Amino acid sequence: MAALLEFLRKYNYWFIFILLEVASFVLLFRFNSYQGSVWFTQANSAVAKVNRIYTNIEAFIHLDEVNAMLTEQNSVLQMQVSQLREQLKDAKAEPSINDRHILDSLSGYRLYSAKVVSASIVKNENYIVIDKGAADGIKPEMGVVGGGGVVGIVSMVNSHHSMVLPIINRNSRISCRIRRTGYYGSLTWDGGSIYYANLTGVPQYARAKRGDAIETSGYSTMFPPGLFVGKVRDTKPAPDGLSLQLVVNLGTNFGNLRDVTVFENLHKEEVQELIERNDSTISNHTN
């Protein structure tokens, strides 16, 4: 207490000076209209800047939630655009049947939002780990997409996490097609750059050209048709001399991948059952 009193006694002139300054400013701005308007304008400007900074900080804090929501919405929109594109092709023939087909296709998939918690992008056998697992409904052989395009296929799951085999893995094979012409092939990756992959097995008469969009073909139970994969960067003859090999600039940036969407095909078991029955019938006839 004595130290506080000594401090106040020693610097009392400064306190009096500050108090008089505050009082003078109050009198100046209160009883002079011009100075008062200047103070009011500057005060409002300062408050506006503080509010803007607060809003930006709050938006940054919620950025992860926004990114996750946009990723899922983008996946749904890609499905809808693909189905609408097919509808426009056949609109003159059977519009009512196409309408039902679109609704059936969109309702045939369940979507799960997830975040990447670990990833490798510098190996030949790269991997991605997401924060959803069996407890969340994730199963092996589900398709995974990000905001920019296809990511890969779920390979293993445990209770709360899943391992994804990305398209930048030498063991990855995904059926894709050229959007403009409909010719399809197998998307593979031979190592090297994470920004490019190869679409192999494309017929030489496919008329592929630089800039053509590559999308999922829908010929597997992992992905619906029409999900964006990338764009053709270059075309060249395949090593077998019988087909084309397309260099594809991938739409997914694996270097900053954070939010993904997992697709569950609700009719997968029915399709697999038909395939197994067909294989069994062929085997019986052969024997």
Residue 217 domain flag: yes
Query: Which of 20, 42, 60 is the C-terminal boundary of a domain?
Result: 60
Residues 160 and 202 in one domain: yes
Question: How many Cβ atoms from other residues are within 10 Å of residue 186's Cβ?
Answer: 15
Predicted pLDDT of residue 98: 41
72 and 207 both lie in a single domain: yes
What residue numbers bound the domain in which 129 lies? 68-266
Tell me, yes or no, whether 138 lies in a domain: yes
Torsion of CA 108, 126, 65, 114, to 10 degrees: 40
| 32 and 6 share one domain | yes
Q: Which CATH number fits the domain that encloses residue 206?
A: 2.40.10.340
Q: Do 100 and 229 belong together in one domain?
A: yes
On whether both 46 and 83 belong to a single domain, the answer is no
Domain count of the fold of the chain: 2
pLDDT digits (tens, 9 = 90+) for 66-125: 566 666 666 666 666 666 666 555 554 444 444 444 445 456 788 898 999 999 999 899
278 within a domain of the structure (yes/no)? no
Residue 276 lies inside a defined structural domain of this protein: no
Q: Based on the domain organization, do 33 and 84 belong to the same domain?
A: no
pTM of the model: 0.65
Which of 43-52, 200-209, 263-272 is least confident? Answer: 43-52
Residues 243, 205 share a domain = yes
280: in domain: no
Instruction: Kindly indicate the confidence band of residue 29, based on its pLDDT and cuts at 50, 70 and 90.
Output: low
